[in-house]
Structure 1
């Protein structure tokens, strides 16, 4: 099957441009973070209100400040960061689409394409959550691992546009890999939320720890609920993807499960996520213990998605760097 080199080149340019835009968006988010006062500091400031009779009333204590007139400079910079983020998503989506058009197949047939698809899902998931729950100021922390993974994808994992190997020439490539990519992107966001929860919770228990960073994060229970809700959505998709992978393995290799390194690591991640959700649902676990379990599951996912293909060989090696 011939490859359209022109579309493939445009895809690479769009990919590189998206990474640059994401980095710029991170810079704007960080500037907004630096210009925004922590909540506790704002609550301790004097609240000055003008009474109806023209007298000035000064009130001290943890009260919410009256709404500001107009938009603050920090708010403007944050909105600019969000606009850049959306632009990055459009370029990122164009890169994925153009790679598929160039090869005339689904654009996740190797690790470079797979990494790109997962990161695209993660960014889109975060944009939805940030808008719905007003969590824009966390965007820099979410974009950081995504930018790192995209940089690795564009360098160490990069593959030129080409037809896929025979083992991947199946409709299960669309079903299994796309479901795993969507669930992995969602679980990446949940893992970052749990890491931020641990930082915030440590600061709340000991205000001297991670003070400059954690004081600007939302309350710990907000981050805990965010991680849990995203995991509740992502885990069933991940389970379905693993089942589809087993069916595909039986069709391609004559067995449902063979304890290949990638299969084994996926099973370990699945078990840890199941433990996390079971503990939350039955034991009522909250706090550090649940967050640590979720982070361990996230680390297992990242290790399985990327490092397994770099350091081991197995039946999944055709999806590796080459």
Structure 2
């Protein structure tokens, strides 16, 4: 037993070292992402203003070449006008920006370095979570510290998977590693809990099912929230460019925002992310109710964690319903999505840290 305890303690210490190492590499990745944005020369970025020059709903003339056979042989070349109509308001026909690197080789080099560092940090992060699990031979999310380090790990891994699948999502890299650093910093400084066995109420196979679904849902919803927030900035930027008589964006805002995907692309990305993960969040709520019946003898007891999980579900359901039936797009839908994610954050931090309930035994 003593040897086993020592081995577990060693694994717990290794986990801590790996988490701190991941934080160090995330810091280097953060610097690399910043450098990528800086060296992405603004002068070489494709200007979005040119794409927005024709206002929505206007028509632009071009020509189409037509060959017509003449009597007696030969052909005549005629030209007739062709009408091209821009997209209607709310669905701007705007190209995506060239990305954080701004279309420069130097910026792209730092961007690839940043991605490589992010992958290395993710591997260290995964190692830290796995060794934490091995140290006690259970799921590594029995308290807020373990939940936090696992959630940020899943978010980073999801980002790496999107990159590996060919998706142009490097624009998420900077806010992602920034958030991962903040999350891990809070975890090791405020939420840290020694590696230990579970309290009896948590010692169930439902811990693997219910909490893992909550972690994956939260990590993916975070990516959707980042895209939604960036959409609001980009949409405002495009709106200003469409109104040449109004106040135009400053040089700094232009150098950043014109590299992002178009507002329409960001809006679509956020919607697809939220719609994809919503069924998993629904299952999280149902699995929690089933576990509650087994642990406490009732499916629903108005526990603060149960209530705010349901509130979060309702908020995202309203967002998806508004998009699907009322045709909400753009800023109204974005505000609703951010309110829903704020509910998730309060459920995660506020309820666990400041509200007493049946879930309080999980500890901080």
TM-score between both structures, scaled by the size of structure 2: 0.78
8 Å Cα contact 2:40-2:106 kept in structure 1: no
- Runs of at least 5 residues in structure 2 that lack an aligned partner in the other structure: 49-94, 99-103, 241-247
Q: 2:35 aligns to what?
A: 31
Aligned twin of 2:228: 194
Structure 1 residue 42 and structure 2 residue 50: aligned? no
Query: Are residue 203 (structure 1) and residue 246 (structure 2) matched?
Result: no
In the alignment, which residue of structure 2 is the partner of 1:279?
322
Residue in structure 1 matched with residue 208 of structure 2 by the alignment: 174
Which stretch shows the higher mean deviation, 125-134 or 284-293?
125-134
Higher helix share: 1
1:129-170 C-alpha deviation (Å, 9 max, x unpaired): 244322213310222222212211111111010001011001
Structure 2 residue corresponding to 1:153, chosen from 184, 187, 202: 187
Q: Deviations over 1:25-78 (max 9, x none)?
A: 11111111111135984359xxxxxxxxxxxxxxxxx9x99xxxxx81111111
Aligned twin of 1:94: 127
Name the CA distance, whole Å, in 2 between partners of 1:268 and 1:211: 38
Deviation at 1:212, TM superposition (A): 4.5
Match of 2:157 among 116, 124, 143: 124
Aligned position for 2:279: 236
Residue correspondences, number: 299
The structural deviation recorded for 1:259 is 1.3
Q: What is the deviation of 1:117?
A: 1.1
Give 1:263 shift: 1.1
1:257-286: per-residue Cα shift (whole Å, max 9, x none)?
111111111111110100111111112211
Q: Is 199-208 or 182-191 further displaced after alignment?
A: 199-208
Cα distance in structure 2, aligned partners of 1:278 and 1:40: 41
The normalised TM-score by structure 1 is: 0.87
Greater than 6 Å deviation, 4+ residue runs: none
**Larger displacement relative to structure 2 (164-173 or 140-149):** 140-149
Larger Cα Rg: Structure 1 or Structure 2? 2
For residues 318 and 168 of structure 1, the distance between their equivalents in structure 2, rounded to whole angstroms, comes to: 9
